[in-house]
Chains A and B, each alone.
Chain A
C-alpha cells in the first residue's frame, strides 16, 4: 500500500471510538537488507494528529525557537501527541485503522525517545517531499510517496519503494487539484496511471535530501524530461 493511504486515515480504538487521524508515520531502520541502503526502513509508529503545518514546522525538535507566538502555538498543537506502535494495530480497513488498545493506554513519546536500536525517522517531516539527487548531483524528482509492503504475522511493514512523479503526488494532494494533476499526468504518460517507483535498494543516503546510486536518467520520472529535451529543447539552437 502507499503511505498516502496511511496518513490521514481515521484511527479507531479497541472500544470502537474514533480517536483521530494519522498525522505522521515514524520509520525505523531495522528491516531486511535492501540493496545499497542497508536495512530497510520499517513502520515503527503512527502519530495521531492532523498532518498540517504544525507537524511540519519542526517545533517538536529541540532548539527550534522561532518567532515566539508561532512557536508557542505550533508547539501546543504538536507536543505530546499520542503515538500508536505498529504492534498495537489490529487491522487496516478502508480509510480506517483499528487498534488493539484503548485510547487511554496510548503513550505520548517524543521522536527522540530511543527505545529500540536505530534512529527514528519521521516520514512526513524527513522523508516525504525531499529532493532526490543522483550521484552526479542532478535532481531526479521528489519523494512524493512511499510504497509499503505489509508483512504476514503482524511484522512491521517494510518501506520498499519511493514513488515519484505527479501520479504519486496527485494522491497526496487529493481533491479536485489532485484529480486534475493525475489526469494531466496520465495523458502525458500515455494512459498509465502507475506512479514511477524507485526501489529503496538504490537509495544511498538520506540526509536533507535523498541521494540515489543510479543516474537520474534511469529513473522512471525521467521520461517526461527526456521527451521535452528531445522534442522541444533540442530543436532550439544554442541548447
Chain B
C-alpha cells in the first residue's frame, strides 16, 4: 500500500520538467488560461501512452525502442532513432541549462559557470545511484512544487480571475497561428517521448510482472494527472500575475515571481528546491533515455541493472549525451530557447513512437490477454490522429510564427 502511494507521489513529483515550467508559464502570461485545455489533452495523452508502453513492456518484456524497430522496420526505425536521439540531446541540454539557471537564481553567479558542474553532477548520480533510489529521491523532492498551487490560491482566492480567462480561442491581440504553436509546445511538454522510453525501460529493469500492472496503472492514472494539475497551477499563476500587465515570460527568474508574491522567501525556497529536484530527475531520465533508445535499437546490452562494464556501449552513450548536453548549453544559446525547440520538436516526433506501441498493445501474441479494450482503442486512435496533425503542422507553424515570437 505504501509502495503504491510512493509510486503515485514519485510520478506526481517527477512529472514537471524544464519544458513544463517554460511552456506553462509562457503560455499563462501570454494567453491566460485559454490554452489550459491543451494541458488536459496532453495529460490524457501521456496517461494513455505511458500506460500502454508500461503494459507492453510488462507483458512482452520488450521496451519501446525494441518494439519500434520491430514494427517500423530497420529503415524507419533508424530515422526515428535519429530524430528521437537528436531531440533527446536537446532536452538534456535544456535540462542541464535549466538546472544552471536555478542555481544562478540562488547564487547570483552566471549560469554558464554552473553548467559543467551540474552536468557532471547529473552524470555522477547516474553512475553511482541505483535506479529506483534516484527516481524516488528526486521525484519526491519535486513535490515541493505544490507550493505553486497554494500560491495560485493565495493570489486568486477561489480562482475567479483564473477561471475567467479559460477559453478555446486566442485573445484579440493574438493570431491563431501563434495560438496553435503554443498549443503544440504545451502538448510536447506534457507528452514527452523520453518519459515513455524511460518508463517502459524501467518496467523491464524492475522486472514487472502482470501482477504489477495494477500498480502501474495507479501510478499513471493518478500520478500524471496530479502532475498536470501542477502544470495548470504554474500556468494559472503566470496568468494571474503577468497577463493583465502585458508581461511576457522569457526567463526562469520571472517564473519565481508569483510564488514570491504569494509566500515570500519560504515559498521561494520551496519553489527553487522543487524546481531543482524536478529538473534534475528529468535530466537523469533524459540521459538514460538516450542510452536506452540507441541500445535498444542496435541490440546492445543496456540497463542500470547490470554492472557498467557489462553494458559498456550503453554507458558510453549516456556519458556522451551528458557531455553533448553540457556543450550545447555552453554555446550560450539561451536554455529557454533550447527548451522551446526541444518540446516543439518532441511533439512533432511523437507519432513515430506512438504508433508501434499502439499496434503492439493490440497484439495477443505479445500481450496475452491484456490487449487494449475497445474504448481505450477508440481514444488511443483519436490521439493518434491528433498527433499526426500536430506533427504535420509543427514545422510550418514554426516558420510562420518565427517559433512563437
CA distance A172 to B359 in the complex (A): 23
Contact (Cβ within 8 A) B299 A239: no
Interface size on A, residues (CB 8 A): 51
CA distance A125 to B381 in the complex (A): 23
Contact (Cβ within 8 A) A229 B312: yes
- Chain B residue at minimum C-beta to C-beta distance from A64: B363
Name the one of B127, B301, B307, B358 contacting A236, with C-beta atoms under 8 angstroms.
B127
Determine whether B153 belongs to the interface, using a CB cutoff of 8 Å to chain A: no
Interface size on B, residues (CB 8 A): 47
Contact (Cβ within 8 A) B301 A139: yes
- Chain B residue at minimum C-beta to C-beta distance from A56: B71
CA distance A233 to B310 in the complex (A): 9
Contacts of B248 in A (CB 8 A): none
Task: Name the interface residues of A117-134: CB closer than 8 Å to any CB of B.
Answer: 124, 128-132
Determine whether B264 belongs to the interface, using a CB cutoff of 8 Å to chain A: no
Contact (Cβ within 8 A) B74 A172: yes
Contact (Cβ within 8 A) B381 A132: no
Contacts of B310 in A (CB 8 A): 138
Name the one of A57, A164, A233 contacting B299, with C-beta atoms under 8 angstroms.
A164
Contacts of A178 in B (CB 8 A): 75, 78
Contact (Cβ within 8 A) A53 B75: no
Name the one of A57, A66, A128 contacting B377, with C-beta atoms under 8 angstroms.
A66
Stretch at the interface among B62-70, B184-192, B233-241: B62-70
- Chain A residue at minimum C-beta to C-beta distance from B380: A67
Contacts of A53 in B (CB 8 A): 71-73, 76, 355
Contacts of B72 in A (CB 8 A): 53, 56
Contact (Cβ within 8 A) B299 A67: no
What's the least CB distance linking B129 to chain A, in Å?
Answer: 11
Name the one of A52, A58, A229, A236 contacting B359, with C-beta atoms under 8 angstroms.
A58
Determine whether B333 belongs to the interface, using a CB cutoff of 8 Å to chain A: no
CA distance A164 to B69 in the complex (A): 14
19 pairs of residues in contact across A and B, judged by CB atoms under 8 Å: A51-B73, A56-B73, A58-B363, A63-B365, A64-B362, A66-B359, A67-B358, A67-B362, A67-B380, A70-B358, A70-B381, A71-B362, A129-B74, A139-B301, A178-B75, A228-B316, A232-B312, A233-B316, A238-B308
